[in-house]
Structure 1
Amino acid sequence: MAEQEYWFARRFPVGHPRNAMAPVSKRAMEIVWTFVGWMVGGAVAAVVIVLLGLFAVPYLWIAAPFVFAGCAAYGGWYFVSQAMSRGDKTHTVDVYKAGRVPGQKPYMQ
């Protein structure tokens, strides 16, 4: 069985109280930009709903924060779930940058 290709790696060494992950591949950056897209898309949709609510449909503006919150929640869930499932919990980003992870592609490739 082939080794798993990791897209994210730890930002801090093992044993550090923070368990943050950072992207180490191009696929991970696509996931980051997907998250940003959901946030921006939710904001744009909320603005459109507010404008429609102010000028066309009374009280439609009440739905705007829920639309934004839903888009942000889904984008955040997707980002975190991918980082958890494709994250290297033993190596740090610095190790990837130095090219010392056996069997892995170079940093951001």
Structure 2
Amino acid sequence: PTVDYRRQAEMQQLTSSGGAALDAYVYGANARTKLAACWAAVVSRVGESRFQVQLSGRHFDVSRAAGDVCFLTFKELCGEDRGETDFLGLCQHFRTLLLDGVPRFDSLE
């Protein structure tokens, strides 16, 4: 079997402190499985909870948070009327965002 040591290092960095600043993308047939495994590794170290980000009198409910990592679906993040303040608020509370269900966009979108 082939071992991708880069991916192992990314996973170790992500789970060592409950989150990390990484640019990692999983895609293809096993993307959901890989993303779920990454989330499970984080949750096993720091536990899972709900979190509410306060945003200038409004709030953004995060149903899956673990330390400085959150797991959102594309619909949760982009399916409602949100703007820069919402995204910056998330970034102030979470160093890592796992995003599931990102649609494939074409050049017209």
TM-score by length of 2: 0.25
Higher helix proportion: 1
- Max Rg structure: 1
